[in-house]
C-alpha cells in the first residue's frame, strides 16, 4: 500500500478533498481556488473520475494522433496546453505520476479531489447525515472535517485532533488550509 510519503510533491503540501458523491466537492474547490490564489497560494487540482472521459474532439488533429498511438499527446497554444495519455489496463489513475506532473509546475498547494481511500492528508466534507460513520472516525489521514452545522451526533467519536469547520464558511476553510499547509503538515 502507498502512502502520502510516496507522492513526489517536492515539498508542496497536498490535501485530499473527500466526500460522498453529491456533497459539493467541486463546488467548494471552485470557491476555494480564487481565494487561495488571492492569498498567494496558486493551487493545482487533480480530480479523480470514476468513468471514461475524453477532453479531445473526434476528428481534430490531436484526437487523430492520439488514436494513432501518440503517448502522451500534448496540444499547446499561447493560452494553454493539455496533455492526454492513454492508460490501457489501468484500474485506477496513477496518483504518484499525476502528482509529479503537477508538482513540476510549481503550485503552492495541490488539492486532490476524490482518491478517498488513498492515505494522504484529507479534508472530509459532510453536508447531510451519512447513515454510516464518517471517514474521520477511522481514517487517521483526515485532518479536517467540514460539516453542515447541526450534524453533531455522528461526529462525537471523531478525534479532537480533527479540526471541525463549517462547510458553508469558505473563508474559514481557506484560513485553515493556509495555516495547515504553512505548518508543513502536507509536505
89, pLDDT greater than 90: no
Please state the pTM of the whole predicted model. Answer: 0.86
Count of other CB atoms within 10 angstroms of residue 129: 11
Q: Where are the alpha helices (DSSP H) in 7-114?
A: 25-38, 61-67, 95-103
Residue 83 backbone class (left: φ over 0; alpha: ψ -120 to 50; beta: rest)? beta
Predicted local distance difference test score (pLDDT) of residue 7: 82
Q: What residue ranges in 60-175 does DSSP mark as E strands?
A: 73-76, 81-84, 109-113, 122-126, 142-147, 163-166
State the cell numbers at 6: 510516496
What are the tens digits of pLDDT across the range 95-128? 998 999 999 999 999 999 988 889 999 999 998 8
Predicted local distance difference test score (pLDDT) of residue 5: 57
3, pLDDT greater than 60: no
For residue 180, give the H/E element and its range: helix 170-182
Predicted local distance difference test score (pLDDT) of residue 35: 97
Predicted local distance difference test score (pLDDT) of residue 153: 64
Confidence of residue 177 (pLDDT cuts 50, 70, 90): very high
133, pLDDT greater than 80: no
DSSP 8-class letter at 121? -
Domains and CATH numbers, the chain: 4-48+93-182 (3.40.50.300), 54-90 (no CATH)
What are the tens digits of pLDDT across the range 32-88? 999 999 999 999 999 987 666 677 788 888 888 888 888 888 888 899 888 888 777
Amino acid at each position: 500500500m502507498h502512502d502520502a510519503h510516496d507522492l513526489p510533491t517536492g515539498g508542496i503540501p497536498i490535501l485530499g478533498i473527500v466526500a460522498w458523491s453529491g456533497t459539493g466537492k467541486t463546488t467548494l474547490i471552485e470557491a476555494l481556488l480564487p481565494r487561495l490564489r488571492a492569498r498567494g497560494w496558486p493551487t493545482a487540482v487533480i480530480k479523480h473520475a470514476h468513468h471514461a472521459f475524453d477532453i479531445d474532439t473526434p476528428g481534430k488533429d490531436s484526437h487523430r494522433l492520439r488514436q494513432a498511438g501518440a503517448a502522451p499527446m500534448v496540444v499547446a497554444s499561447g493560452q494553454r496546453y493539455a496533455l492526454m495519455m492513454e492508460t490501457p489496463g489501468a484500474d485506477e489513475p496513477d496518483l504518484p505520476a499525476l502528482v509529479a506532473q503537477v508538482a513540476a509546475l510549481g503550485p503552492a498547494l495541490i488539492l486532490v479531489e476524490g482518491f478517498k481511500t488513498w492515505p494522504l492528508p484529507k479534508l472530509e466534507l459532510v453536508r447531510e447525515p451519512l447513515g454510516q460513520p464518517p471517514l474521520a472516525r477511522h481514517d487517521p489521514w483526515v485532518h479536517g472535517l467540514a460539516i453542515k452545522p447541526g450534524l453533531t451526533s455522528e461526529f462525537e467519536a471523531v478525534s479532537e485532533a480533527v479540526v471541525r469547520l463549517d462547510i458553508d464558511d469558505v473563508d474559514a476553510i481557506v484560513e485553515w488550509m493556509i495555516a495547515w499547509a504553512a505548518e508543513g503538515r502536507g509536505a
